[in-house]
Amino acid sequence: MEKRIVYVSGYGKAHEKSAITKIYGIFALGMTVDAETDEILEVEGSLVLDITKNFLKNLLIGEKITNEKVIIDKINNLYFGASKKAFIVAYKDSLRRYREKIIY
């Protein structure tokens, strides 16, 4: 049986003086997810620095998108960037979209 890989995205408003807002206007988070296991396979955000992009990938890849507490705890405990709130809002928006489309 072939894996069912889905794409989901979410958005959050970054601080108005952040580079994200100046370059992109909004923080966007995109993920590919295995819909059978809920595992995040790939992730990318509208981030400016490569180190931040890599950190985001290391933080989320392999986690279950539905494990909201674990993911938000990881963001709060390990990510100290100015876009933390936007990151959490974008993740929650992605999770909401995922739950709307994926039937358990």
Domain regions of the chain by residue span? 5-101
Residue spans of alpha helices (H) in the chain: 19-24, 50-60, 68-78, 84-101
Fold of 5-101: Sufe protein. Chain: A (3.90.1010)
pLDDT digits (tens, 9 = 90+) for 33-64: 999 999 999 999 887 788 988 999 999 999 99
Q: Return the residue matching tokens 């981030």.
A: 47
pLDDT digits (tens, 9 = 90+) for 22-34: 666 778 899 999 9
If one counts every other C-beta atom within 10 angstroms of the C-beta of residue 78, the result is: 10
Q: Is the pTM of this model over 0.85?
A: yes
Indicate the angle between helix axes 50-60 and 68-78, nearest 10 degrees. 140
* CA–CA distance, 16 with 94 (Å, rounded to integer): 22
Helix (H, G, I), strand (E, B) or coil at 96: helix
Q: Which residues, including other chains, have CB under 8 Å from residue 95's CB and lie 6 or more apart?
A: 10, 65, 66, 68
